[in-house]
Each structure stands twice: as C-alpha cells, then as structure tokens.
C-alpha cells in the first residue's frame, strides 16, 4: 500500500483516521482526584439539585422584596427582625410581610423570603427593628435550589476531557468515582548510529537523544502513557525486534529517525514486513515533516518520524495528536484551538502545493495587538522551538505572506 506521491496534509490525516477506525480504549473507574484531564467514558447526569436549597450570596437580612419597594435613604422602610439563620444549619423560621431574618453568606433562605438585602443598605434601630435604605427585586442576592444544576440535567458528555472545574462540579454533586477511558500507550523507538543517551558525554559526530524527550512531553500532554523502547542502531534485525516488541505492549508506535531516502532507510520495509496493511503513505507535502511515514500494522497505528526536532513537533501536532485523541476516546464537539491573531512582521516566501509551518515568537504592542516574528532556522535546531510561542501555517495554495498580513498563531 506504499504511496510514492506526497500526500496533502489534510488528505493524509483523513487517510490515517479512516484506516484506523474506532480504536477507543476500554474504560476504568477511578476517584475524581485522579481524573484531571482524563476522558469521560459515559454521560454524566445529576442525581440531585445543586445547591439543593435556596441560599443567599451576601451577609444581610432575608426579606420579602415587595416590602422594600420605594425604600431609599430619605424614605426608609422599617422591618421587624425575628431571628437569625446560622451557617450550615437548616432553619425553621418563616418570614411574613413586614419581617426579616439575619442571614450569613451561603445561609439557607427561610420560607417566605425571596430576597436578601446587604447589611450596608440597612440601619439597626433596635434589637428587633431595622431600617431598609433601598429597594430590592425578587431573587436579588439569592441562588435558588436548582439554579446551578437541576436534577437529571446532563452535566458532561461522554468523550469530554475533564477540567478542574468539572471535577469540582462532580464533588458538589457527591460524585466521587468516575468512569474514564484508559490512557493510550505510545511506544517510542529512537534510531540512529549517531544517537546517544541524554546523560552521555558525546564525541564528534554523535548527537544526544532529544526527540524521545520532546515526544514524551507531547504524549503526556495529550493524555497518553509513554514507553521508551530505547536507542536502536541502524540495523534491520534490531529495529524489527524492537518494533515487534513495541507493538505487543502499546497502542501506537513511533519510530524516530530513518525516514529519509537513504541506504539506511529501513522504517518502511520493517513496517511492511511486520504486518498488514503496512505503510499507508511515505511523504507529506508539508515543511517541516515532509518524510513522515504512516502505517497500520494489525490495527495499530505506527509512524516513522523525521529525525529533526521541529519536524517531530509539527508531525506530532498534525497527525499523531488526532490519533491519540481518537484512541483516548476524546469526542469534544467544541474543537477549541488555542490561537491568537497577529500581524506577521516579515515577508515569508512559500512554495505552492506545500503546507509550511512557520515558528514565530509573539510581541505585544502598546495598542494590545500582537506582532508575530518568524523564527528562521533549519528544522534540526531545537532552539527554534524553544524561542517560539507558536506556529503560523501557510496553506498549500499560497505563495507566502507579506509583512503586515494578519495571521493566526497556533499557540504551543
């Protein structure tokens, strides 16, 4: 199934996602304390109202709003104070016309009351009498028993990635355990005779392993679990053994290096020799990341990644991230990208028919708008990523950008 023609990026992504189908992982039940950024495996409905009782939002007096109509500093309304509500306790008090009850923030609204006036807008005349110095509307400074969440209401849909506020809502509803999809396991195989561990001293001609660390962070950000298989020399049998092992323990396999057209290019052959259908495509009309390989071996997605750090990052964001999200069960319909509008500070030439991913740093101007400064440099330079705040994509139908053009920056 090897395709010698360079695929357009969007066509390549559609081919991958269509080929893998639905590989969503099984679910597991975990405590909500461990659920941050996990993917829900079920719809969550509320079994109760929240907050569950009418409560006030200020320190003051609970009263009947119509008793205050027309009240002002020069024409106060007088109300009888008949008691007090205490925090965290149910009250049996009832407010009738001409009456009020002292109440703290968060306290239970007594029967009959429909508003709360702040202490600042009252004067205490005696132990049992207050002046009201302004009028209130019904419901002012009050939260009704189901105003936050109604019983039976859909809180979050299956496939949602959990945020801290979502977990807080579960806690408020008494939900302490939640069903989430298991995390995808992604194996990384680093290849190359010149690659040595990050902890090693290097000799001339050697390079420390950068890519497995960058990939590890990207995988964790997207909710995956990383398995580092190790650094494998450019030897067919050794790489194939490592690849077969990685397939046996993971959901996705990434091979870093060995994708360029050269005598030591074995990644495509190893993928095809290991299982069906094999390589889906080798090469994408994209810079950086042109020599990317994507394949499927016995229903498991595999990728041969370019060796350059910038190409790794762009390839991951464009192709591997959606695959991880697919397997992780991520089904959000919001599709919110972290982007910002900016003006490009320099003209950039691009080749028709190729999607260019330009690293940029951002500068905030005095008027609140942003300038995007292109960071030029070969894709093998890790510092071009370290210095960048995001990526500007020049689509395949464009010949480039002119200085001052508005662009969309995809933030890291």
| CATH of residue 406 | 2.40.340.10
Judge if 319 and 227 occupy the same domain: yes
Structure confidence at residue 383 as a pLDDT band (50, 70, 90): confident
Judge if 375 and 319 occupy the same domain: no
Judge if 32 and 177 occupy the same domain: yes
Judge if 304 and 189 occupy the same domain: yes
**Which of 114, 143, 172 is the C-terminal boundary of a domain?**
143
Q: Is residue 269 part of a domain?
A: yes
Judge if 36 and 84 occupy the same domain: no
Q: Is residue 3 part of a domain?
A: no
The β-bridge partners of 72 are: 75
Query: pTM for this structure?
Result: 0.77
Judge if 269 and 235 occupy the same domain: yes
Query: Could you report the per-residue pLDDT of 364-376, keeping only the tens digit for each?
Result: 999 999 999 999 8
Domain containing residue 116: CATH number:
2.170.190.11
Judge if 324 and 226 occupy the same domain: yes
Judge if 59 and 46 occupy the same domain: no
Q: Is residue 188 part of a domain?
A: yes
Q: CA-CA distance, 302 to 16, in Å (whole number)?
A: 10
The answer, yes or no, to whether residue 4 has pLDDT greater than 60, is no
The answer, yes or no, to whether residue 287 has pLDDT greater than 70, is yes
| For residues 96-113, average pLDDT | 97
Query: Could you report the per-residue pLDDT of 220-229, keeping only the tens digit for each?
Result: 988 899 999 9
Give the three-state DSSP class for 355.
Answer: strand
The answer, yes or no, to whether residue 6 has pLDDT greater than 80, is no
Residue 399 gets the label, from left (phi > 0), alpha (psi -120 to 50) or beta, of: alpha
Judge if 164 and 267 occupy the same domain: no
Q: Is residue 284 part of a domain?
A: yes
Q: Is residue 283 part of a domain?
A: yes
Longest dimension (CA), the chain: 96
Judge if 170 and 232 occupy the same domain: no
- Mean of per-residue pLDDT scores for the chain: 92
Q: Look at residue 5 in the predicted model and tell me its pLDDT.
A: 59
**Which of 181, 205, 232 is the C-terminal boundary of a domain?**
181
Judge if 194 and 303 occupy the same domain: yes
The answer, yes or no, to whether residue 260 has pLDDT greater than 80, is no
Q: Look at residue 3 in the predicted model and tell me its pLDDT.
A: 42
Query: Could you report the per-residue pLDDT of 325-362, keeping only the tens digit for each?
Result: 999 999 865 555 689 999 999 999 998 889 999 999 99
Tokens of 221: 């950000």
Q: CA-CA distance, 3 to 199, in Å (whole number)?
A: 39
**What's the domain count of the chain?**
4
Tell me the C-alpha to C-alpha distance, in Å, between residue 107 and each of 67, 138, 145, 250: 21, 17, 12, 52
Query: Could you report the per-residue pLDDT of 170-185, keeping only the tens digit for each?
Result: 998 999 999 999 999 9
Which residue segment(s) compose the domain that 105 sits in? 55-143
* Main-chain phi, psi angles of 264, to 5 degrees: -95, 10
Query: Could you report the per-residue pLDDT of 67-104, keeping only the tens digit for each?
Result: 999 999 999 999 999 999 999 999 999 999 999 999 99
Q: Is residue 2 part of a domain?
A: no
Q: Within its chain, how far is the Cα of 142 from the centroid? A: 34
Handedness of CA 353, 354, 360, 362 (dihedral sign): positive
Tell me the C-alpha to C-alpha distance, in Å, between residue 49 and each of 110, 148, 160, 224: 18, 8, 22, 35
Residues in CB range of 273: below 8 A, 6 or more apart? 240
Judge if 63 and 172 occupy the same domain: no
Q: Is residue 85 part of a domain?
A: yes
Domain containing residue 228: CATH number:
3.40.980.10
């Amino acid at each position: 199934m090897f395709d010698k023609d360079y695929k357009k990026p969007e066509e390549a992504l559609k081919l991958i996602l269509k080929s893998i189908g639905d590989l969503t992982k099984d679910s597991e039940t975990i405590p909500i304390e461990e659920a941050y950024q996990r993917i829900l495996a079920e719809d969550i409905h509320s079994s109760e109202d929240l907050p569950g009782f009418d409560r006030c939002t200020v320190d003051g007096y609970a009263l009947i709003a119509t008793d205050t109509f027309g009240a002002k500093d020069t024409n106060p309304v007088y109300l009888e104070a008949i008691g007090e509500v205490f925090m965290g306790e149910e009250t049996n008090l009832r407010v009738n016309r001409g009456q009020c009850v002292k109440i703290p923030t968060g306290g239970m609204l007594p029967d009959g009351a429909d508003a709360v006036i702040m202490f600042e807008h009252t004067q205490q005349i005696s132990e049992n009498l207050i002046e009201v110095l302004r009028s209130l509307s019904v419901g002012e400074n009050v939260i009704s028993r189901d105003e936050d969440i109604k019983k039976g209401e859909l809180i979050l849909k299956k496939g949602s990635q959990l945020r801290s506020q979502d977990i807080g809502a579960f806690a408020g509803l008494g939900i302490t355990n939640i069903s989430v999809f298991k995390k995808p396991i992604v194996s990384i195989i680093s290849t190359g005779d010149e690659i040595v561990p990050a902890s090693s001293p290097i000799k001339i001609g050697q390079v420390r392993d950068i890519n497995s660390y960058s990939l590890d962070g990207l995988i964790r950000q997207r909710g995956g679990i990383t398995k580092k298989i190790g650094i494998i020399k450019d030897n067919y049998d050794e790489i194939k053994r490592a690849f077969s092992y990685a397939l046996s323990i993971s959901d996705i396999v990434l091979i870093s290096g060995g994708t360029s057209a050269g005598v030591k290019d074995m990644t495509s052959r190893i993928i095809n020799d290991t299982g069906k259908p094999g390589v889906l495509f080798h090469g994408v009309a994209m810079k950086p990341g042109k020599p990317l390989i994507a394949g499927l071996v016995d229903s498991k997605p595999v990728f041969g990644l370019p060796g350059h750090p910038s190409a790794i990052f762009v390839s991951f964001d464009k192709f591997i991230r959606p695959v991880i999200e697919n397997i992780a069960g991520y089904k959000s319909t919001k599709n919110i990208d972290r982007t910002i509008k900016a003006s490009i500070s320099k003209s950039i030439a691009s080749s028709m028919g190729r999607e260019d991913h330009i690293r940029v740093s951002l500068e905030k101007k005095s008027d609140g708008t942003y300038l995007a400064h292109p960071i030029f440099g070969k894709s093998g330079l890790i510092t071009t990523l370290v210095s960048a705040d995001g990526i500007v994509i020049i689509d395949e139908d464009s010949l480039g950008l002119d200085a001052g053009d508005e662009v969309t920056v995809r933030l890291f």
